[in-house]
Structure 1
Amino acid sequence: MAEFLIIEDEAEKRSSIENEIRAYFGDPGIQFCVAQTFAEAAKLIFERRFDLIVTDLMLPRRKGDEPSDFSDNLLDFLSSSSLNSSAVVVAISQFGDLIERQATSFKRLGIFLLDYNNQSDWRTCLKVCLQRVEHKQTVDFAIICALEEERVGFREVEGDATFGELSRYHGLDCRDISIAGFNGICVVQPRMGLVDAAAICSQILSLFRPRLICMAGICAGFEGEVELGTLLVSDPSWEHQSGKWKGEDFKLSHYQEPLQNSVRTILSQVIEEDPTCQSLTSDLPELYRSLERAAAIMPTVSGSAVIASSDKASEIREQHRKVGGLDMEVYGLYRAAAIHSDSISCFAAKTVVDLANEAKGDDLHHAGAVFSARFVAKAIHRILSD
């Protein structure tokens, strides 16, 4: 169900707005969050995500105060609230001079500014906004995979998880998926690589507004640092190709994207509770063995090319003394999520299936994808339940 915030201190006007919304959705039981002061509105805008915000322009600053113009503050708050950057916002005021003064500023932010005295116009425009809310799809989480064989791994996630139907939304290759009562989508990129990963991540965040976005799948590891079959959570990630060539010398531009500390703490505890991950791999004979630690949070590096060369892998490894994994997408995901909003939980967990050398093969691909999918499902449940 969509989330609605009504910022209005006058009971009669607030009731008229609520009745319009209830009538449109045909549900008399719809619940609203209500703010009757500027302080209440500010708190809700920064703490909760809403699909529709309907607001007045005159409101008491605090309980007991006289109503005053808070429209400039409202614009500042709405433009800086990462949680509500995609919310549909409608401002309805009965003060014509205030509407005229703020018309340009509100239009610039895509906010509808309506005159409450014109009953027909504001009701009609509100219905148009409600249509936008009705057709906007939101999910709790989104998973990105570079390959279909990585997404197929989620078929073998056990417990309270459902691998749903295929769907297309704005050209995205989606499959519905639910985990422990949370609803999400799993999207396969059109092509491998960090450019597609960044583009798809940005599109998903704008279209579906998930609380969490992550990546599952397989990757390469660095020999001597990790063993085949180890699951790596990337922290930090960077692009090994970013820098400057001068003659025969390459100077790396070391731009890193880390895990959020809150996400890292949860994932670290998930790993510590079952460091051998035998609960996730006991039916995968290719991976099931006595490893003291089958999962780790380690630095990983991304690039646009498949690496199957010991020499090239050694060259990349010199960029960080503790780098554990090599893939083609994670940095694009992390960077896009960081630019979009610092309130979105984001992580990547991939299984090492080769060592980026000439012996690179696909024998571990399926088992690695299943291991990653199971860990990611477990992590999603823990993060969203926190």
Structure 2
Amino acid sequence: MRVLIVDDEYSKVQAIAAALRAVPEIFDLNIVHETTAQAARATLRRDAIDLLVIDLHLPDVIGEQGSAEGGLALLSMMCLDDKVQLPTDVIFLSGREELLENATSKVAALGAMIYQYRADLTLWKCALVGRAKYICHRKKRTRDLPRNVDIAIVTALRSPELDAVLNLPYKWRQERLSGDPTPYYFGTIERGSDRAPLTVVATCATRKGMPSAGALAARVSTLFSPKYLVMTGICAGLAGKAALGDIIVADPTWDCGSGKQAEDVYGSPVFKAAPYQRQLDVNVMHIASELAKEPTIVQSIRAGWSERVPAGTLTVRVGPMASSASVVAASEFAASIAGQHKDLLAIEMEGYAVMAAAEYARVPAPISIVIKSVCDFADAKKDDDWQTYAAYTSAAFADHLFRHVAFAG
């Protein structure tokens, strides 16, 4: 449950937070605090909030004096701002008794409730906790309704790709939604006492390829409104450019089959490529590049694997990855794809579709990320020997990315 407290009196905020944290029925509690109306609106544009707690006397921006109707103005502006994700419930708590009488009817007209705050009073606590518990009961009873998560992870295969994700220490729980045959796994990424945890959902397609991956990614985006849409898994590396197990963060990715089948001047068939590339988010690119240069990251990933490992040094690369409609196990065909981008590192079958699904998602659209690790070299020697290891290194690097101090605030 996500609670946003908008109040510039810190002792009051502490008391409100303590009242909520003391109730075990209020599960998955995540409290965010803002001191101004402007900051609160920015948070509501970015995050889905279940319960909004507002003070009446509130400054609009940092450095300004509080206004007697600052909280009312905030709620009014929220209703006018179509970029704001309106919270499930709103409650006003005011420690200024002289403001209550004039504000009560105005708060009611906006669809909210108001209570007097004072440390020795119990009514505000009862109302606050009661609303929070009701929201939690409602959440439990409406499991089949869409919810909001920070990260959605999709994979093409249950084994080994989704299995590698589910081995991450996120306290996974499986749920099924009414009328939806797809199993979803929900978890929480703890990031220390000084940072809010991240919520995550993971699932996999029923078959390989861009159509299935794109359809699943679009559905997940609609159901869960993730901030980040991530695909992990396995890919084929370009011989000489990547080693077995190497982690490739796609930037850019494209459909290598996009183009026109034509004839040259001699009547021979020729493929004229017309790739439309999807770039990686710049902030994510910088974080991934920074992690790639940190030796302890790859060392910890390698050390976390207790079985056989391929020869060579594990590396992380941020670079071009092409999506093909078919499995590539012919070096000549792989070379023709490499001709579409001189720096091509890898070929796989789904990444571009996931990136495209994010592009067409409803606002605010998720940031899409494709992280895949090399399990073969797209040639006649292609086999499955290193698929499980590659799926592991991909998921392990994604975990490091999620925990980076600059990721998701």
Fold-level similarity (TM above 0.5): yes
- For residues 330-376 of structure 1, what are the alpha-carbon distances to aligned partners after superposition, in whole Å with 9 as ceiling and x for unaligned? 11222222333566443222111111122211111111112222222
Using the TM superposition, name which of 209-218 and 362-371 deviates more.
209-218
* Structure 2 CA distance for partners of 1:350 and 1:63, relative to 1, 3 Å: same
Query: Aligned AA for 2:328?
Result: I
Given candidates 190, 210, 216, the residue that maps to 1:194 is 210
* Structure 2 CA distance for partners of 1:114 and 1:214, relative to 1, 3 Å: same
Using the TM superposition, name which of 303-312 and 38-47 deviates more.
38-47
Which residue does 2:247 correspond to in 1?
Answer: 231
- Three-state SS of the structure 2 residue aligned to 1:319 is coil
Which residue does 1:209 correspond to in 2?
Answer: 225
Matched residues in 2 for 1:374 and 1:5: separation?
32
Which residue does 1:3 correspond to in 2?
Answer: 2
Matched residues in 2 for 1:33 and 1:232: separation?
34
Given candidates 361, 374, 378, the residue that maps to 1:356 is 378
Query: Aligned AA for 1:144?
Result: V
**TM superposition shift of 1:240:** 1.0
Matched residues in 2 for 1:220 and 1:6: separation?
48
Q: Is 1:368 matched up with 2:369?
A: no
* Structure 2 CA distance for partners of 1:320 and 1:4, relative to 1, 3 Å: same
Given candidates 217, 221, 224, the residue that maps to 2:237 is 221
Query: Aligned AA for 1:164?
Result: W
* Structure 2 CA distance for partners of 1:224 and 1:44, relative to 1, 3 Å: closer
The answer to whether the 8 Å contact 1:284/1:367 transfers is no
- For residues 143-171 of structure 1, what are the alpha-carbon distances to aligned partners after superposition, in whole Å with 9 as ceiling and x for unaligned? 211111112224655xxx14634432333
Say how many residue pairs are matched.
350
Q: Is 1:148 matched up with 2:176?
A: no
The answer to whether the 8 Å contact 1:194/1:328 transfers is yes
- Three-state SS of the structure 1 residue aligned to 2:219 is helix
**TM superposition shift of 1:5:** 5.9
Question: Percent of aligned positions with the same letter in both sequences?
Answer: 25
Matched residues in 2 for 1:205 and 1:363: separation?
33
* Structure 2 CA distance for partners of 1:33 and 1:312, relative to 1, 3 Å: closer
For normalisation by structure 1, the TM-score amounts to 0.70
Give matches, 1:212-291, under 5 Å.
212-247=228-263, 248-274=269-295, 277-282=298-303, 283=305, 286-291=308-313
Query: Aligned AA for 1:361?
Result: D
Give matches, 1:1-386, under 5 Å.
2-4=1-3, 39=38, 42-51=41-50, 74=78, 77=81, 79-81=82-84, 84=85, 135=142, 137-149=147-159, 150-154=161-165, 157=168, 161-162=169-170, 164-169=172-177, 170-180=180-190, 182=197, 183-247=199-263, 248-274=269-295, 277-282=298-303, 283=305, 286-291=308-313, 294-340=315-361, 341=363, 344-382=366-404, 384=407, 386=409
* Structure 2 CA distance for partners of 1:335 and 1:33, relative to 1, 3 Å: same
Structure 1, gaps ≥5 residues long: 8-20, 100-112, 117-126
- Three-state SS of the structure 1 residue aligned to 2:260 is strand
Structure 2, gaps ≥5 residues long: 7-19, 91-103, 114-132, 192-196, 264-268
Matched residues in 1 for 2:89 and 2:285: separation?
34
The answer to whether the 8 Å contact 1:5/1:53 transfers is yes
Matched residues in 2 for 1:76 and 1:252: separation?
46
**TM superposition shift of 1:51:** 3.5
- Three-state SS of the structure 1 residue aligned to 2:218 is helix
Matched residues in 2 for 1:250 and 1:39: separation?
54
Matched residues in 2 for 1:180 and 1:6: separation?
21
- Three-state SS of the structure 1 residue aligned to 2:356 is helix
* Structure 2 CA distance for partners of 1:52 and 1:337, relative to 1, 3 Å: farther
> Greater RCO between the two (CA within 8 Å, min separation 6)?
1
Which residue does 1:109 correspond to in 2?
Answer: none
- Three-state SS of the structure 1 residue aligned to 2:378 is coil
Runs of 4+ in 1 over 4 A off after TM superposition: 4-7, 30-41, 52-55, 59-76, 87-90, 113-116, 127-134, 383-386
Matched residues in 2 for 1:237 and 1:349: separation?
11
Matched residues in 2 for 1:284 and 1:33: separation?
40
Matched residues in 2 for 1:163 and 1:128: separation?
25
- Three-state SS of the structure 2 residue aligned to 1:256 is coil
Matched residues in 2 for 1:34 and 1:263: separation?
26
Query: Aligned AA for 2:351?
Result: V
**TM superposition shift of 1:220:** 0.7
**TM superposition shift of 1:238:** 1.0
Using the TM superposition, name which of 37-46 and 320-329 deviates more.
37-46
